[in-house]
Chain A
């Protein structure tokens, strides 16, 4: 069933009420999540959400209104209300605003999916989490927790520029965490990542994770961490695993290259960016090994789509090429303000939220090495992986990250396990110190990226591989 007419009604109502541009999205989303603890299902929740969000531009000012009612009267009223809100915005106006052209388009797109995750029997899905958490518990975990999440989203987008685009995106993922309790501290190990691995794929993604098979090792490593020596404090060579690299990219590159942050539109909450548009194309962000790509077209990655929520087709773009900053994540309005000619990175968390600049898939091109080669080439250092904590300042410069597990590196080999590994640094200095990068790339999915007011949760993807960094401060403690 198409909802183009519902969206079109709202757009026309906004135009009739004085908007010079309007767009609307009808979104139907089903979501399902299950958690299990110590061999029992703990919670099972399924949600169904349907509604329309309409955006109106009056002069240089925006208004947005959203309703769950798709009747003709409600969608017309929503369009009028969006225009009325835009008129109120115009009482505290900004400079004249245009939108970069994206081209009228009628299109349809769907993510690839082998096994529809919604249709997999709940008993099978529950059994997987029960078996995985029981296996971790049996192997010595004091607390074993498992989770899977599924999202099935259908969207119909109409704009006054002539867009009529429908998309069907299916996403899912799962993960397992084993925790052990020591004297005043907790150690944990997660598989395959903190909060799990996610993608725009079907249930085949979850079965490939082998949660049950990996559970005993997670419990054993968490137990071993309790008696492992703490990560030493000081400056050293740091080797990061791929999962932690994904988080490093997300926090210290992905958010920093969001054009709305660079323009100050997020200054009061999410923050700004240390990047200065005047140096786009010349600023050295990192070493020559650093090639960061924005690519919403990666099959199966969590940040993938056919068209963003402004109707711009998915396109691949350099953000950092051989260490030089060359691109941003942009929307039609922010790009126009910045004098750029491309958009394509605007999304909303469902029908009730305003589309805004969001990461898609932002990740590293593969490097020339392997993790084994990186370890073998390191005389003295620390290896860390699997994120445990993350904190970064409001300009995306000063970060401190903690990992679940570390190992010392001595004379080209992994040595003792280290507990509570942390590292800290300043983004561009850190990236400039990257001197080895693996080719073993995985597109990690982050299903919990928070941004915006009211709050929105974004799904992003981050191709990442292990890498080595010189002279990094590690072992920061309270």
Chain B
């Protein structure tokens, strides 16, 4: 059983048809934008070393946003026949006409060609159909996902395992009444699993544009090595510790910075710490949003946002200096700038957010790094040079259930998960029980507080498909651990 691939320009034709119907129903002056999006998501989930949930769906959804007579409303439907489209148009027009005047309507995206990444040229200036799209991933079968699960389970060599293997395929087109018309498609593969032993969990994750790049056996072995090294943890007293965050933990910092720091709406509402032009991070920190993929990796999302604005790379932090914020058309108009292509369905309310962040890796260390006594130990390869230079501190694999106590200072509480170890004189000396932390993320990354960055940014998935991080390990001077998970 394989996923059905949508024929080229089918969604663009449907979007144009909706624009035509809107003109007929609301008049030529109505401003309309339409996104037709087909998503096929399949996820094979395992627990207790068996596949216990295995799902797939294929949905086409039409979203219409309409600005008519100075008023705005949006709606969507999964009914793509003529009756469904007419119903969507009628209720959206009715909703707009009953809405209050929208003084902040930013207008429609004018006709604008897509940006093409260096590695993946599109098939035309309005088309992202050839954007590194891997059709084999889009067409992946349940058997192919199950095979990777089987390899993960076997590589864990008897340890209990749990996790998922996911493939997604998105094909979409955008059109508006101002003449913008673009189309694109993307595919993503991801695997995320844990191995468990006597209360000790180890994790391994990977995101990729090609399922062929996901090796369940490699991930299963890595998760198992961590689980084995995490047995019989000790408890440490709460306090401020130097830490090496492995790439999985680093993604949480990137996610929080995207939501609460670089979010153009949050900034306009004085809820963000970000100050453009200010040296807010250590000079070693450079953060880029890369929605088009990079360095040979296909994009996992569309080359345009829900307002039809072409996406492109955006440097948010360059060598410690905050350089940019993410904007949709509304937040950009308020800030007197241009959209950066970060509109989402709910960005007028939640704000526009970066969803493809890369924290730049450091140049590879040239001096020799001691080979760990146990090559199958708990330290991720990309974190080893940082661990080797840590006098005393903690190696943290993953962060969990992080929530913001104060959005302005971006003080976050959460717990460690999937493995913590004490490092002394550059070597892991003991497994440590999970701990709760309460820490300002910008303060942790402030000038002088970043002692090292790994030389490899690992591609990691988010819980939501279409979101991806490129994260290296991070050596931070201080992390505020406020309690043991056991109390």
Write the residues of chain A forming the contact surface with B, with a CB cutoff of 8 angstroms.
35, 40-51, 53, 61-68, 81, 84-94, 121-123, 126, 130, 142-143, 179, 181, 184-186, 263-269, 271, 352-354, 356, 388-394, 397-398, 400, 402, 420, 422, 424-426, 429, 453-455, 476-478
Contacting pair A92 B153 (CB below 8 A): yes
Taking the complex as formed, is B366 at the interface, i.e. its CB lies under 8 A from any CB of chain A?
Answer: no
In chain B between 91 and 112, which residues have their CB closer than 8 angstroms to a CB of chain A? 91-92, 94-96, 98-100, 102-104
Taking the complex as formed, is B371 at the interface, i.e. its CB lies under 8 A from any CB of chain A?
Answer: no
Contacting pair A65 B401 (CB below 8 A): no
Q: Give the 3 A-B residue pairs with the shortest CB-CB distance, closest first.
A: A94-B50, A88-B142, A268-B162
- Contacts A89-B52, A91-B146 known; list 11 others, CB within 8 Å: A46-B73, A46-B74, A67-B59, A92-B146, A126-B99, A130-B100, A268-B193, A352-B57, A426-B486, A478-B405, A478-B411
Taking the complex as formed, is B311 at the interface, i.e. its CB lies under 8 A from any CB of chain A?
Answer: no
Q: Which of A40, A47, A62, A93 contacts B75 (CB 8 A)?
A: A47
Could you pull out 26 A-B pairs where Cβ atoms are within 8 angstroms?
Answer: A44-B95, A44-B99, A47-B75, A48-B87, A65-B56, A66-B55, A66-B57, A84-B1, A90-B51, A94-B48, A122-B95, A123-B99, A126-B98, A130-B100, A186-B406, A264-B48, A265-B52, A352-B57, A398-B483, A398-B486, A420-B405, A425-B487, A453-B53, A454-B41, A476-B438, A476-B483
Complex interface: chain A residues within 8 A of B57 (CB): 53, 65-67, 352-353
Taking the complex as formed, is B228 at the interface, i.e. its CB lies under 8 A from any CB of chain A?
Answer: no
Max count, chain A CB within 10 A of own CB: residue among B52, B76, B436: B52
Q: Which of B44, B54, B270, B348 contacts A43 (CB 8 A)?
A: B348
State the CA gap A239–B465 with chains docked (Å): 41
B171 → chain A closest CB, angstroms? 15
In chain B between 443 and 462, which residues have their CB closer than 8 angstroms to a CB of chain A? none
| In the complex with contacts A68-B59, A94-B48, A269-B463, A42-B348 CB distance below 8 A | yes
Taking the complex as formed, is B200 at the interface, i.e. its CB lies under 8 A from any CB of chain A?
Answer: no
A26 → chain B closest CB, angstroms? 12
Contacting pair B54 A63 (CB below 8 A): yes
Contacting pair B100 A40 (CB below 8 A): yes
Contacting pair A352 B465 (CB below 8 A): no
State the CA gap A265–B45 with chains docked (Å): 9
| In the complex with contacts A47-B77, A48-B78, A92-B150, A393-B47 CB distance below 8 A | no
| In the complex with contacts A123-B98, A454-B55, A391-B413 CB distance below 8 A | yes
A127 → chain B closest CB, angstroms? 8
Complex interface: chain A residues within 8 A of B75 (CB): 45-48
Q: Which of A43, A64, A86 contacts B346 (CB 8 A)?
A: A43
Contacting pair B415 A185 (CB below 8 A): no
Contacting pair B78 A267 (CB below 8 A): no
Contacting pair A84 B142 (CB below 8 A): yes
Which residue from chain B places its CB closest to the CB of A123 in the assembled complex? B98
Contacting pair B485 A393 (CB below 8 A): yes
Complex interface: chain B residues within 8 A of A422 (CB): 405
A239 → chain B closest CB, angstroms? 21
Contacting pair B53 A62 (CB below 8 A): yes
Which residue from chain A places its CB closest to the CB of B485 in the assembled complex? A398
Taking the complex as formed, is B320 at the interface, i.e. its CB lies under 8 A from any CB of chain A?
Answer: no
Contacting pair B269 A143 (CB below 8 A): yes
State the CA gap A388–B404 with chains docked (Å): 9
Taking the complex as formed, is B143 at the interface, i.e. its CB lies under 8 A from any CB of chain A?
Answer: yes
Complex interface: chain A residues within 8 A of B348 (CB): 35, 42-43
Complex interface: chain A residues within 8 A of B149 (CB): 92
Contacting pair A476 B487 (CB below 8 A): no
State the CA gap A66–B271 with chains docked (Å): 40
Complex interface: chain A residues within 8 A of B309 (CB): none
Complex interface: chain B residues within 8 A of A263 (CB): 48
Contacting pair A426 B487 (CB below 8 A): yes
Q: Which of B54, B74, B87, B163 contacts A88 (CB 8 A)?
A: B54
Contacting pair A393 B401 (CB below 8 A): yes
Contacting pair A476 B74 (CB below 8 A): no
Complex interface: chain B residues within 8 A of A394 (CB): 400-401, 415, 417
Taking the complex as formed, is B382 at the interface, i.e. its CB lies under 8 A from any CB of chain A?
Answer: no
Complex interface: chain B residues within 8 A of A353 (CB): 55, 57
State the CA gap A74–B438 with chains docked (Å): 51
Q: Which of B102, B164, B415 contacts A398 (CB 8 A)?
A: B415
Contacting pair A455 B98 (CB below 8 A): no
Contacting pair A267 B54 (CB below 8 A): no
Contacting pair B401 A392 (CB below 8 A): yes
State the CA gap A35–B147 with chains docked (Å): 45
Interface string of B31-48 (1 = CB under 8 A from A): 000000000010111111
Q: Which of B84, B87, B166, B403 contacts A389 (CB 8 A)?
A: B403
Contacting pair B48 A398 (CB below 8 A): no
Max count, chain A CB within 10 A of own CB: residue among B53, B60, B162, B417: B53
Q: Which of B1, B74, B160, B440 contacts A81 (CB 8 A)?
A: B1
State the CA gap A186–B464 with chains docked (Å): 29
Complex interface: chain A residues within 8 A of B100 (CB): 40-41, 126, 130
Contacting pair B145 A88 (CB below 8 A): yes
Contacting pair A85 B1 (CB below 8 A): yes
Contacting pair A50 B79 (CB below 8 A): yes
Taking the complex as formed, is B477 at the interface, i.e. its CB lies under 8 A from any CB of chain A?
Answer: no
Taking the complex as formed, is B194 at the interface, i.e. its CB lies under 8 A from any CB of chain A?
Answer: yes
Q: Which of A47, A81, A402 contacts B56 (CB 8 A)?
A: A81
Contacting pair B403 A268 (CB below 8 A): no
Which residue from chain B places its CB closest to the CB of A426 in the assembled complex? B487
Contacting pair B43 A454 (CB below 8 A): yes
Contacting pair B79 A64 (CB below 8 A): no
State the CA gap A476–B98 with chains docked (Å): 47
State the CA gap A450–B278 with chains docked (Å): 37
Contacting pair B98 A453 (CB below 8 A): no
Complex interface: chain A residues within 8 A of B113 (CB): none
Interface string of B132-159 (1 = CB under 8 A from A): 0000000001110111011001000000
A49 → chain B closest CB, angstroms? 5
Complex interface: chain A residues within 8 A of B439 (CB): 478
Complex interface: chain B residues within 8 A of A65 (CB): 55-57
Which residue from chain A places its CB closest to the CB of B269 in the assembled complex? A143
Taking the complex as formed, is B58 at the interface, i.e. its CB lies under 8 A from any CB of chain A?
Answer: yes
Max count, chain B CB within 10 A of own CB: residue among A179, A263, A394, A429: A394
Complex interface: chain A residues within 8 A of B413 (CB): 389, 391, 400, 402, 476, 478
Q: Which of B51, B78, B84, B415 contacts A391 (CB 8 A)?
A: B415
Contacting pair B52 A43 (CB below 8 A): no
State the CA gap A45–B48 with chains docked (Å): 41
Complex interface: chain B residues within 8 A of A356 (CB): 53
| In the complex with contacts A40-B104, A88-B146, A389-B405, A64-B56 CB distance below 8 A | yes
State the CA gap A412–B49 with chains docked (Å): 55
Complex interface: chain B residues within 8 A of A352 (CB): 57, 59
In chain B between 331 and 370, which residues have their CB closer than 8 angstroms to a CB of chain A? 345-346, 348-349
Q: Which of B41, B203, B487 contacts A429 (CB 8 A)?
A: B487
Contacting pair B54 A51 (CB below 8 A): no
Which residue from chain B places its CB closest to the CB of A400 in the assembled complex? B413
State the CA gap A397–B57 with chains docked (Å): 35
Contacting pair A94 B52 (CB below 8 A): yes
Taking the complex as formed, is B480 at the interface, i.e. its CB lies under 8 A from any CB of chain A?
Answer: yes
Complex interface: chain A residues within 8 A of B193 (CB): 268
State the CA gap A172–B414 with chains docked (Å): 31
